[in-house]
Amino acid sequence: MDWGLANRMHRMFSPATHNTVMLAVDHGYFMGPTHRLENAGATVAPLLPYADALALTRGMLRHTVPPTAQTPIVLRVSGGATILQDDLSHEAVTTSMTDAMRLNVCAVALSVFIGAPHEHESLVHLGDLVNDGEQAGMPVMAITAVGKELEKRDARYLALACRVSAEMGAHIVKTYFCEGFSKVVEGCPVPIVVAGGPKLDSDRAALELARHAIDEGAHGIDMGRNIWQSDHPVPMLKALRAIVHDKATVNEAMDILAAEKGPEVAAPRARRPQPS
């Protein structure tokens, strides 16, 4: 791996733990103003100091993140379809490597849609992006997207999608956690980070997902909704960091979450009418 590419990788993945906590806020590129990401700048600002990398598009980077930010950027460079279409796989590379370099980002990311109508194009786009990335010293992260078919997220499918992405030359793969996740990791020679997916029922469930993913070989998380749609985003991010970097158990992470939240303020009780 050339120095520049290796340096960018090491800025995202801790040299001590080899893991990363990426904060994903790129949902708007196909979902529009997602709940709690309507004002992305306000959502991101308090979280930024606790993220090892921030994943977003060039538009949101330019308009919502101050250029004084030191956090490594993972730039989403694919797009071209929105949730108004049934087929979300009709994507292309929408941001050039030249613009990624100009923005001084640490990695570029695009979705691959294995088994979808535009599987072929998405894989060719990945190959082309890796060609450009190797030239520029820019890591490429492949995202194994499932479109609206969330039920696709099983080990057999994800192992195929991750392995194909690595074979195309991706330097990092982002995928989903699933039962039998260690099989997905086993077949993929590059670091895997896991997305959180739609908001889970509880903060605990998201912490459990992260704990299991790390235990089964993930090198970190690239999580969005389960952080910024939580009622306590910063405490949640700190608790996730403890899992990813400090080997915290789920119970220990829950303690961190509780401590960071501070004392819950009890709702004022209705006053009984006093006898006069």
Rounded to whole angstroms, how far apart are CA atoms 257 and 251?
Answer: 10
Q: Which residues contact 132 (CB under 8 A, 6 or more apart)?
A: 97, 138
The footprint of ligand 5RP on residues 45-104 (CB under 6 A) is 55
Rounded to whole angstroms, how far apart are CA atoms 71 and 164?
Answer: 29
CB of 67 to ligand 5RP, least distance (A): 22
Size of the residue set binding ligand 5RP (CB under 6 A): 13
Is residue 223 part of the contact set for ligand 5RP (CB under 6 A)?
Answer: yes
Rounded to whole angstroms, how far apart are CA atoms 95 and 77?
Answer: 5
Question: C-alpha angle with apex 85: 84 to 87, nearest 5 degrees?
Answer: 150
Interface stretch with ligand 5RP, choices 24-32, 155-163, 177-185, 232-240 (CB under 6 A): 24-32
For 29, the enclosing helix (H) or strand (E) is helix 28-31
What is 87-102 written as a DSSP string? -TT--EE-S-HHHHHH
Interface stretch with ligand 5RP, choices 8-16, 61-69, 210-218, 219-227 (CB under 6 A): 219-227
Q: Please, which residue, 31 or 124, has the CB nearer to ligand 5RP?
A: 31
Q: Please, which residue, 15 or 198, has the CB nearer to ligand 5RP?
A: 198
- The residue within the footprint of ligand 5RP, chosen from 36, 58, 225, 238 (CB under 6 A), is 225
Q: Please, which residue, 4 or 46, has the CB nearer to ligand 5RP?
A: 46
The amino acid sitting at 208 is E
Interface stretch with ligand 5RP, choices 148-156, 162-170, 194-202, 255-263 (CB under 6 A): 194-202
Is residue 195 part of the contact set for ligand 5RP (CB under 6 A)?
Answer: yes
Buried residues in 244-254 as b, exposed as e (16+ CB within 10 A): bbeebebebbb
What is 108-130 written as a DSSP string? EEEEE-TTSTTHHHHHHHHHHHH
Q: Please, which residue, 2 or 38, has the CB nearer to ligand 5RP?
A: 38
- The residue within the footprint of ligand 5RP, chosen from 147, 196, 220, 235 (CB under 6 A), is 196
CA distances from 24 to 76, 106, 141, 188, 223 (A): 10, 14, 13, 22, 5
CB of 169 to ligand 5RP, least distance (A): 19
CB of 108 to ligand 5RP, least distance (A): 13
Is residue 224 part of the contact set for ligand 5RP (CB under 6 A)?
Answer: yes
Is residue 235 part of the contact set for ligand 5RP (CB under 6 A)?
Answer: no
